Structure formats: structure tokens, C-alpha cells
Amino acid sequence: MIEQPFEIWLQRARSNLAIARTGKREAVILEDLCFEAQQAAEKALKALLLYFGAEPPRTHAFTLLLMQLMEYQEIPDTIREVVELTDYAVHTRYPGDYHPVSDEEYERAVELAAHVVKWVTEQIATE
């Protein structure tokens, strides 16, 4: 059976989320896990855009993704909170001038990503 593009994107989102959930251990830093959480949420939202027949923009900016999605359906406030993950796509992805990610920030990133992936899965399942 040939998978639809949105299914492949959602599968990748789930994979990123699984990696993000692995937690801090030797040789793994929280910034990288937060990047995986950001990627999970981004890919899930792009999967939903593909599901609606839209071409997702090549961006890490959640505000743009959410604006495009609003053309197809209402976005709950709890999903809009995903914009908090935007900085993990670029600013903390590479060594540089930023404050290290705390355990609480990491947990919040995973929580947000999991919520977005679950919501997108529900939207696709109920259509």
C-alpha cells in the first residue's frame, strides 16, 4: 500500500517525538532533544497541511504554519502555544550565544510537541 505524503510526514513527526522523549543521558544535551520536539510539532503541522491538500511552506516558523492552517480549520489556543518551540529550530540547534535549556523547558517542549502530534492525528482521523 502506498502511503500518502501526509502519512509519511506524520510518521516522521512521531519519530522525532520518540527521539525527543528519550531524555537526557550521557552525551545527549537538552538543546538537541528540544530540536527533536520542535521538529515533531513542525512535521505534524505540515502533515495536516498536506492532508488538506496544501503545500507546506519551507519554514520553521510556527506562526506561518498556523496562519496557513487557519485557512482550513480553527486552531485551538493550546495548539497555538507551539510557537514557543520556534527558537529550538535554529537558535539552540547550534552552539552559540543562548541560555542553556533547563529541565523544565525540555519537559515543556516535549509536552507541546506531543500535544500537537496528538491533535493532528485526531484531526486526520476524524475527517
Alpha carbon distance 67, 81 (integer Å): 13
Contact between residue 88 and residue 105 where contact means Cβ atoms under 8 Å apart: no
How confident is the model at residue 96, as a pLDDT? 77
Measured between alpha carbons, how far is 119 from 78 in angstroms, rounded to an integer? Answer: 10
Give 95's pLDDT tier (boundaries 50, 70, 90). Answer: confident
Question: Which range, of 25-29, 40-44, 54-58, averages the lowest pLDDT?
Answer: 25-29
Is pTM beyond 0.85? Reply is yes
* Cβ atoms of residues 67 and 51 within 8 Å: no
Percent of the chain's residues with pLDDT above 90: 79
